């Protein structure tokens, strides 16, 4: 398992899951909050990745 994108998605999944379960009590709210957070993680990672693309290592 060496795909950075996959590892980032797994990481985002676990963090979103725990935050959603801690922050909300109703399953419907948990699903909504967790999905939003997971999507936010993925979207911000892709956007930041592209923003850093022009910079050399």
Partner 1 sequence: MRATAAEETQSGTLVLLCLASWIIPGAGHLWLGRRAKGLIFLVALPLMFAIGVAIRGRLFPFELSDPLVGLAALADLGIGAVYFIASSLGYGGGDVRAVTYEYGNAFLIVAGLLNMLVVIDAYDVALGRK
10 close to 47: Cβ distance less than 8 angstroms: no
**What Rg, from alpha-carbon coordinates, does the chain have?**
14
User: Which residue in 5, 9, 10, 43 binds partner 1 (CB under 8 A)?
Assistant: 10
Tell me the CA end-to-end span of the chain in Å, nearest whole number: 23
11 binds partner 1 (CB under 8 A): yes
33 close to 23: Cβ distance less than 8 angstroms: yes
Per-residue contact flags (x/-) with partner 1 for residues 16 to 55, judged by CB under 8 A: -xx--xx--x------------------------------
| Sites of contact with partner 1 (CB under 8 A) | 1-2, 4, 7-8, 10-11, 14-15, 17-18, 21-22, 25
């Amino acid at each position: 398992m060496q795909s950075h994108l996959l590892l980032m998605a797994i990481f985002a999944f676990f963090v979103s899951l725990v935050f959603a379960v801690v922050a909300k009590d109703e399953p419907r709210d948990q699903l909504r909050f967790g999905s939003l957070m997971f999507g936010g993680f993925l979207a911000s990672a892709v956007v930041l990745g592209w923003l850093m693309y022009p910079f050399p290592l």
